[in-house]
Structure 1
Amino acid sequence: RRTTHHRTHKSTKRKKQHHAVPRMTDEKRIQKALAGLGFYHGTIDGEVNSYETRSAIKEMNKAYEISQSAAMSNEEKDALIYLGTLFTFDRYLIAGGNDKKTKGKRIQTALKIEGYYHGKIDGAVGRGTRSSIAQYKSNNAMGYGDTLNFEEEYRLVNDAKHKNDKNIDDTIHSLKTMGSGRYQPEQQPSVLKLQVPGETPQSTPAPDNSQTPKGGWE
């Protein structure tokens, strides 16, 4: 008697796990800006109402003479969001390593600062990035093509780094000027002496210190 054995083959294929990339938010950019300025030392988690973040905002406001509280104006908030983006750009530009992803982010960041790339900085050099490279090379008399050699990449990244540094300095300066003129030292009220019409103003004689006042030390 023949017995047929039916084997059940379980699928050995594993489902690909898609790891969600943490989304960059304005709140995280504010924390990045505060960290770059040296006021925040916590985790970049977007919790701007946490004690650590609020303390950092207050310390910055006091240091730049903006206010004595942890509150932010819309102008100050926009400056911090922009500054957080600039600090991220700087990190990509100076990142070491020549692996594809690191190099791709470095080139995309530099092209974005120079105004040629408008896509997402993800390190994946695709059609959009190559098109931006070709346009950059054409506008800077580097010939044709959608790739960069070592010298061309160095020139692109170096120029972008200078521009980004200037943008950082200008934004920090704008933050500091938000507090200029708000805290003036208190001035002593001046005494106004009325003058009678027709009267010649007389100067007050200087006190005679030649004599020792009564009860004073000889």
Structure 2
Amino acid sequence: MKDKIIFKNISKSYGDKIILKNINLKIEEGEFITILGPSGCGKTTLLKLVNRLLNFDEGSILIDGKDILKSNPVNLRRNIGYAIQGSILFPHMTVEENISYVPSLLNGNDKKRTKMAVYKWLKIVGLNKSLLEHYPDEISGGQQQRVGIARALAASPDILLMDEPFSAVDEITRKNLQNEIIRIQRETGITILFVTHDVEEAIRLGTKVLILNEGTIEQFDVPEKILKNPASEFIKKLIKYHK
């Protein structure tokens, strides 16, 4: 496997508060990385540095060997899907318009290609075509979240960033969505970075789990090794109640 994303000596602060400190990390193509840690440890910040929604203070990030600071931010984001808690759909747009938003920008007047992309991803996330003309407030929370995932994937990005995407839905819907994202990742081979507060979710979804604490990496390994050989007392306490 080749390296998809490389963090080199990344640091980020807000004023005097250090959020991330000297992060060094290699993520291989096709991995599903879950990012775990307490509130304020830098999980979301790390995610947003990848698509330049935030800028780091020191270091560099490479995607496919290219420094992201040398890429146009708009072009960079077109190859990176982004799904967040509650999906945040455009309320004045139908399901079809929400999913087709980015593909229509990329495809210009090629409406047939855009429609094909919408149908493809609607099917992949397990939604029926009958929902296409509905508005977000006319569908359930779980369906909204699936539309959000379809929208994030509709331009067929290489990387998908997910920031606690399933935390706002009920437990049954959450389990179903977890199953769907595992299936989607296996079918597409997309590289996923997935932020969560939930140890169970991180262990279940991740091919590897990245554990942050106070802006530094506590451990980065496959779930089995983290469970069997936690690298610190902090991690032992974190996974204590994992079944």
Same fold (TM over 0.5): no
- Which TM-score band (shorter chain)? under 0.3
- TM-score where L is the length of structure 1: 0.27
More strand by share: 2
Which of 1 and 2 has higher RCO (CA within 8 Å, sep 6+)?
Answer: 2
